[in-house]
Amino acid sequence: MTTPRLILLACAALIGLGLGDELAGVLGAGRPWVFAALCVVVLVAAGELWLRALAGEAMPPVLRIGLATAAGLVSLPFVAIVLHVAGVGIRARSIGAGLALVVTVLGAIVLLRERAGRPPGDPRLPGAIAAVTIPALLAVLTGFLTLSAYDRMPRPPEPGYTSLALNGWAGDIDGPLSIPARGVVVPLRVSRAGLPAAAEPLRVRVGARLVSGRALAVEPGVTRAFFVHVPAPPDSCLHRIEISLGVTSTVFYGRGPAGRGSAGC
């Protein structure tokens, strides 16, 4: 392929990648495949331009295919590093612009170089490209079918669990809580996966004292919030407050209303 055509091909593929969101609606579910193919075109074209700009001589087809792919691939980290050094964030548009710059600069160098003469094209190259792409495409298809078959196979159940967490404002408790005389309503969150539905004992302890207990129904695959009333500790000393559900629990610390028995702490 002549250099101007190669540059045009790379630019067209870059424009296609740049139109990502606009093309997404048209392409639908095929978008990832189309965009991956465009990405391959850009990278291989950039790699080929690297080779023409630097080596600039005829070479065996497999050597050319391999080096062009490798050089194309490394264009991405080079562009990313240059963007980083320039203080530009690494985003789709900046990478696309960087690649466009690489293609333009390399293309200009190659065109200047080719004014003195262009190495003859290798007639074996199309055959070698087919020898790489056909098995590679077949392999992609095989891989896709293999993974689909694997996905459909029955799997052993994964180990289940029940989790209990402080929720809402209680999730932000970062020190001893001052609890008024009327007590406090603590929001919690329970989640269960891989275990059958059950009624788990829900208990509240202030210090060593069990202050409430009831059963809470917990269903598999469901995450829900609930509230627990925690009475005020008997004095303003620091008390351990535990809310447990089955074998899981949350623990925080609190003090009763000021003035209650603080002397004995």
Partner 1 sequence: MTLTRLVPDDRLELAVTVPSPAPARERTGWCAATLVVTGAAGAALLVAATNAAEWDTGHQFGLFWLGMLVFTLPAVAWLVRRRTGARLRVAILTAYACFTYLPKLLRTPDGPLFHDEFAHWRQASDILLDGRLFEQNPIVKVVGDFPGLHSTVASVSALTGISIWHAALFVLVVAHLLVVLGVAVLAEEIWRDGRTAAVAAIIYSLNSSFLFFDTQFGYESVAIALLVWTLVALHRAMRGPAGRVRLGWSAVTLMLCAATIATHHLTALGLIGMMLILCAVASVRALRRRTPRAVTWTAWALTGAAAALVVAWLSVVAPRTAGYLDPYLARALDQIAGMAGDSGEGGRTLFRESVAPWWEQLAAFGAQGVTAIAMLAAALRLRSRPEGDAVSRSGALAMLVLGSLYFPAALLILTPSGAEGARRSWAFSYLGIALVVAPVVVAILERKAKFALLAVCAVVMVGNTAAGMNPSYRFPGPPVFGSDTRSSTPEVQAASDWLRSTQGRDLRIVADRYSGLIFGSYGGQRPVTGSHSFPTYDLYLAQPGRAVSPRLIEQLSSWNFGYLVVDRRMAREVPEIQIYFETNEPVPHSDKPAFTLGQLTKFDATPWTIKIYDSGNIAIYRFDFDSLDQPVRR
Residues within window 5-34 making contact with partner 1, judged by CB under 8 A:
17, 20, 24, 31-32
SS3 state of residue 95: helix
DSSP of 173-211: --S-EE--TT-EEEEEEEEEESS--EEEEEEEEETTEEE
- The values of phi and psi at residue 72, to 5°, are -65, -45
Site for partner 1 in 107-166 (CB under 8 A): 124, 127-128, 130-132, 134-136, 138-140, 142-143, 145-147, 149-151, 153, 155-156, 158-166
200 near 216, Cβ under 8 Å? Answer: yes
- Give 9 or 59: the residue with its C-beta nearer to partner 1: 59
Residue choice 3, 6, 48, 50 for contact with partner 1 (CB under 8 A): 50
Closest CA to 207 of 174, 167, 164, 255: 255
The answer to whether 56 contacts partner 1 (rule: CB under 8 A) is yes
DSSP 8-state assignment for residue 134: H
Site for partner 1 in 205-234 (CB under 8 A): 207-208, 233
- Provide the token pair at 190: 């329970």
CB of 4: closest distance to partner 1 in angstroms? 21
CB of 217: closest distance to partner 1 in angstroms? 18
- Give 8 or 129: the residue with its C-beta nearer to partner 1: 129
